[in-house]
Copies of this chain bind each other. A is one copy, B any other.
Amino acid sequence: MVSDRINGLAAILAAVRAGAGITQPLLVERVGLGRSVVAQRVAELEAAGLVEGAGFGPSSGGRAPRRLRLCAGRGVVLGIDVGATGLIVGVADLTGRMLASRQRAIDVAAGPKAVLSLAESLAAELLEPRRIPVWAVGVGVPGPVEFRTGLPIVPPIMPGWDRYPIRRRLRARFGAPVWVDNDVNLMALGELHAGGEPAGHMLYVRAGLGIGAAIVMDGRLYRGANGSAGDIGHVAIPEGGAIICRCGNIGCLEAVAGGAALVREGRLRSPRLAAIPGLRPHHVVEAAENGDTAARDLLHRTSALLGGTLATLVSFYNPNRLILGGSLAPARDHVLGAIREAIHKRALPLATRDLRIEVATLPEEVSGVTGTAHLALDEVFSPANLEIWLPAGSPDQVPQNVW
């Protein structure tokens, strides 16, 4: 178990990270520790070079309290967001603000060596002009990951990546701790940190080429026993019939409501869409926005199919927010109605009473790479990890080479 001191430091860091400009009196309220303990812990974080003053807050009679913020420039974190067809590498400061990024088209099926070599050279370009230590690396991949070890496990669309030691390779390359997670969890994390409000119990659903979900419980990602929680692309759905999925099973959600189905049906139903070479889901969304009624109907139908599965998950999980991300999200007006209808038709009144159903505020590429940075920061600043790299009386430790 982590000591009270470390728990206090972690709680204060979390509050400073969530609300830059917070004052000590507000920290006392938020963190629930006494004034003198908060003052002592803040002094410790200042001595460690993690927190600094930045102006003054409103006075409540006496001396105006200092505003506190993270020493954002003490280090950087590296985010590597591997998608099925694209790679984004970014460098962020300790608040998660993206300082610079690079994007390249890839094929994830080219395997881990090719993809990670490219990621490493993009990272080197980004890091070269900055003489700042890399504190941690966050990595997202489009497949199931055993979170504890960072290993992809039998990932369906990532041949060659099964149990590839991503963590060991990148730790050796950058001399910093590495965490790996699946792409949907990272999009949810990016969205969580972008949102101004507490997230409660949230379901983040990515509807794009693939379909996946991320589970947020009391504002924190829930990953399940092995890290595969949220993997809903290949659940069987009532409307699935005998359609064969790329996974080999029949009647999967993704086979019916995923991007490949959207493209296939789009070609059949809309002459305008059939004329687009290399048709992709975002083309269907654009056509719907531009008044193509066949595209609108198709989005409506796809959303209703997705909504059927979401009704099951809402009944089971009883979230208070459902966020739709992925390439369907920009078609807000053509998808949310059908999803809401499907959920309200099936789920109990109690399960939907406080449920808000919305589209993501960030485009998926942005939430993904932002999420990789926040993954790294959430882990570096977690109580269990703070205890490792922030030992008592070693204020100039940084979290390198300790994992």
Which A residues contact B (CB, under 8 angstroms)? 1-2, 4, 31-33, 144, 146, 153-154, 200-201, 213, 215, 217, 222-232, 234-238, 240, 249, 251, 308-309, 311-313, 315-320, 345-351, 353-355
Contact = CB atoms under 8 A, between A and B. Distances in A.
Give the residue among A2, A224, A309 with the most B Cβ atoms within 10 A.
Answer: A224
Contacts of A33: 1
Contact of A224 (B146, B236, B238, B351): B351
A394 to B, nearest CB: 22
Contacts of A154: 348-350
Given A2-B32, A315-B235, A348-B154, A225 B240 contact: no
16 contacts: A154-B349, A200-B225, A201-B224, A217-B217, A217-B222, A225-B355, A226-B320, A228-B318, A229-B318, A230-B316, A231-B347, A231-B351, A234-B346, A234-B348, A236-B312, A313-B316
Nearest to A154: B349
B349 A236 contact: no
Given A201-B224, A355-B225, A213 B316 contact: yes
A239 to B, nearest CB: 8
B311 A236 contact: yes
B346 A236 contact: yes
Query: Within the oligomer, what is the number of copies of this chain?
Result: 2
Shortest beta-carbon contacts, A-B, top 6:
A1-B32, A224-B318, A225-B320, A229-B318, A235-B312, A153-B350
Given A1-B31, A2-B32, A144-B350, A317 B236 contact: no
A140 to B, nearest CB: 16
A226 B345 contact: no
Contacts of A213: 316
B234 A317 contact: no
Contacts of A346: 234-236, 249
A300 to B, nearest CB: 18
A227 B215 CA distance: 17
A309 B226 CA distance: 20
A196 to B, nearest CB: 19
A355 B224 CA distance: 11
Given A154-B350, A348-B154, A350-B146, A318 B226 contact: yes
B354 A235 contact: no
A173 B397 CA distance: 60
A312 B232 contact: yes
Given A2-B32, A154-B348, A231-B351, A317 B224 contact: yes
A317 to B, nearest CB: 6
